[in-house]
Amino acid sequence: MAFCDYLGSYIFKGTCGGIPGGWSSKDVGDYTTYKSLFQDDEPAFGTLSMTDISGPDYPHVKAIVYNNVNATDRAILRGELLLALRLMITQFRKRRFIRHMVAPVLLFSIVGPQHARIIEAAFDGYNLILRATKIFDLRYKNVQGLKDFAEYYLGPPIGHTVKT
């Protein structure tokens, strides 16, 4: 949780009134359409915060998630995959996104002892696409890692989501 506080203060320093670019954030419990974003039994995982854009134009969602297991650069964790899929499926079920064929998910995954990575997930109608950064070791001062996280978190929604 300390990492989330630190990342939040780093990201929001100088951005009064919320997240730039139309992103809005609520408590995870306020997103009533999402189910099963937590697993308490081992290995535990869950969603700490979520961010999306109001309206029908952008089905994109960002989430800060945690897994209480160690991760490697060579594999996506079960909890990371389940959360990405659950977020994506819920976006597809929303009436306001009926014309969208892709619902991109960006996970900021906190894993193991003070490590983190960013995972991009999307389903293009045929393939589940997962891209992950290398794992950042945050036990030591990692300015570049925090800059990368902030750049992704503050970035605009990208990618074509409507089939033409």
The answer to the question of residue 16 being in a domain is: yes
The answer to the question of residue 164 being in a domain is: no
The answer to the question of residue 160 being in a domain is: no
Give the per-residue pLDDT at 70. Answer: 92
The answer to the question of residue 61 being in a domain is: yes
Distance CA 105, CA 67 (A): 17
The answer to the question of residue 118 being in a domain is: no
Q: Cβ distance 24 to 60 under 8 Å? A: no
DSSP the chain: -HHHHHHHHHHHTT-TTS-GGGEEEE-GGG-TT----EE-SSSPEEEEEEEEESSSS---EEEEEEESS---TT---HHHHHHHHHHHHHHHHSGGGTTBS---EEEEEEETTTEEEEEEEEE-SS-EEEEEPPPEE-SS--HHHHHHHHHHHHSPP-S--B--
The answer to the question of residue 69 being in a domain is: yes
The answer to the question of residue 104 being in a domain is: yes
The answer to the question of residue 159 being in a domain is: no
Angle between helices 143-154 and 2-12 (to 10 degrees): 70
- Reading the chain (164 residues) residue by residue, the pLDDT tens digits are 455 555 555 444 434 344 545 777 766 666 656 667 767 778 888 888 888 888 778 878 999 999 999 999 999 999 999 999 988 888 887 787 778 787 889 999 999 888 999 999 998 878 999 999 999 888 888 788 888 888 888 888 887 777 76
Distance CA 29, CA 147 (A): 28
Considering its fold, how many domains does the chain have in total? 1
Q: Which domain holds residue 104?
A: 2-113+123-130+144-154
Give the per-residue pLDDT at 34. Answer: 60
